[in-house]
Chains A and B, each alone.
Chain A
Amino acid sequence: MITINSLTKRYGDSRNGHLAVDDVTFTAETGRITGFLGPNGAGKSTTMRVMVGLTRPTSGTALIDGRSFAELPNPGLEVGVLLDASAQHAGRTGREILAIAQRTMGLPRRRVDEMLRHVGLTENEAERRVRNYSLGMRQRLGIAAALIGDPGVLILDEPANGLDPAGIRWMRDMLRGYADRGGTVLLSSHLLHEIEVVADDIVVIGNGRIVAQGSKDELLAAAGTLVRAADLTALSTALSDAGVSSSAVDGGLRTDAEPAHVGDIALRAGVALTELRSADGAGLEEMFLELTAASQRDLKEGIAA
């Protein structure tokens, strides 16, 4: 289990500094896959680096099974970490990189071959220097290095990047099996779909702050109702008269009220509906799009200034 408590990371001084991670609190539960979702630059990677002791937090704690990362006597046996598959010496072969991990953790030599087979790197590929690897091969090698110590916790930053569809499928199945056997998985992505298909729990981060968290089912259920009508203004007025708040979503309205209730209001106001349904994942997607748009706005302002 990973427990993040009031984690804050500020770069620069307290007045002009930049808050990369702002009072983040969440838990990645044992036996579940927790998806860490956010646009690029939202603070996912910084949070993950703090978890494994590469970055000092300004305040707050990150604990793995109740202990800080530095307290783990041989961390590789307890936490598998893949932060950046490209962060390897380009002049080493895949096998050499795994051999360094195997030796540091004090594992038998045969683990290297087992892991190469497990992630589907051939004998020939293993003898090639990493400089000649595709991003997908680097990700597989990174996964192998993370799993070599047979850890109970996995921390993976954007592991699906660069994988082909078959590779993504393999990764999903591998993580599912791992969590079902009681492992804890925290994986980040900037793609909602990627997280939606694999995660049990979702933590959404934007501009360094947690903006939503919960089980995937909860977050999807909280999406509310999507309704469309030819006369949107009349519909909007009718809803607000009935005390139901709504927001405009491309050519329709989204509200937290039940579809039946919305239909009832429309009938009484005499507004003809063209569509009325549960919003499925639309709420999450919409929230995520807003987040992405907001951070892009920030970026533009930053460039202008």
Chain B
Amino acid sequence: MSASTLERPATATPVVRAGIPTSRLVGVELQKMFDTRSGFWLVTGGGIASLVATIATILFAPHSELGYGAFAGAIGAPLSVILPILGVLGVTSEWSQRTGLSTFTMVPHRARVIGAKAAAVLTVGLGSIALALAIGALGNVVGSTLVGVPIRWDIPVTQVLQIFLADGLGMLMGFTLGVLIRNSPGAIVGYFVYALVLPAILGTLAGVQDWFAHAQGWIDFQYSSTRLYDDGLTVTDWAHLGVSGLIWLVIPLAIGLRLLMRSEVK
């Protein structure tokens, strides 16, 4: 048995090699989000939905309520649905489409790949929100001028930042479910159960059980993150967000990552 002193194929490069920089991994993950039809239309769809929401606000909102708050609210609704799905698919397609076989052999460090995915997903998410808010601002200026009411910037900057945070958290929730479930349809259904079914159940529970109504802020992440869309959050509201976020986001993500690191890629 000889050591590998024999010549490599003539064209092979020298043995000392540089690793793969993280910036490159994030770039590749961004590329992967856009080069499939589903990814492309999800992002484009977000842009179109913002435009439609803006136009609808101009057409249908009562003149007295026309202001940036109305536009931001109208745009936020479709994005809060699209962005988490983007978060889900960013992770799950590696398993559902089985591309993980190539991805994790080219980069045999799953934590790095998942980190790069999180960075790519947040970049696209926050970029889309910024774009949507800009479309909303344009709509506010154009709409108010067309209708003939004064242009009103009726929500404070802190609340705009809170919208970013709320949508970012929604995306991370999708991402977490993606890491945990690792199957596109499963994780998307999981997200809608979390976002649509669970609030109804917990709301009913809070209605009939006093103790739960008091504890809901601490336990129900959906409930406490929805508060971010309002202004005037109290210290307790932020504490609710932190504690329920730990339960719904941080712990499941940690468990999901641990399972993902050890799982077999087939």
- A contact residues vs B (CB 8 Å cutoff): 1, 27, 29-31, 49, 52-56, 65-66, 69-70, 72-79, 81, 83-84, 86-92, 96-97, 99-101, 103-106, 145, 150-152, 178, 181-183
Contacts and interface: CB of A to CB of B under 8 A. Distances in A.
6 contacts: A1-B3, A27-B1, A70-B109, A83-B105, A91-B36, A103-B28
A213 B108 CA distance: 30
B10 interface: yes
A55 B2 contact: no
Interface stretch (B43-51, B56-64, B91-99, B125-133): B91-99
B71 to A, nearest CB: 34
Interface stretch (B12-20, B147-155, B174-182, B221-229): B12-20
A53 B13 contact: no
Contacts of A182: 6-10
Interface residues of B, number: 43
A151 B101 contact: no
Given A89-B36, A182-B6, A74 B105 contact: no
B1 A56 contact: no
Contact of B9 (A76, A97, A178): A178
B2 A30 contact: yes
B5 to A, nearest CB: 9
Report whether over half of chain B's contact residues are helix, strand or loop; otherwise say mixed. Answer: loop
Contacts of B13: 77, 150
A72 B108 contact: yes
B23 to A, nearest CB: 11
B37 interface: yes
Given A56-B262, A182-B8, A87 B101 contact: yes
A26 B101 CA distance: 24
Contacts of B11: 150
A273 to B, nearest CB: 43
A84 B100 CA distance: 11
A30 B6 contact: yes
Given A30-B2, A69-B105, 10 more contacts: A29-B2, A49-B265, A89-B93, A91-B38, A92-B36, A96-B35, A104-B107, A106-B20, A150-B12, A152-B12
A83 B93 CA distance: 18
Nearest to B35: A96
A77 to B, nearest CB: 6
B101 A83 contact: yes
A49 B4 contact: no
A142 to B, nearest CB: 9
Interface centre among B4, B25, B93, B107 (most CB of A within 10 A): B4
A75 B105 contact: yes
A3 to B, nearest CB: 8
B102 interface: yes
Given A29-B1, A103-B28, A87 B37 contact: no
Given A27-B1, A74-B17, A101 B262 contact: no
B106 interface: yes
B45 to A, nearest CB: 16
A69 B108 contact: yes
B31 interface: yes
Nearest to A9: B264
Interface centre among B18, B32, B100, B105 (most CB of A within 10 A): B105
A83 B10 CA distance: 25
Given A66-B4, A182-B7, A88 B98 contact: yes
B106 A101 contact: yes
Contacts of B109: 70
A86 to B, nearest CB: 8
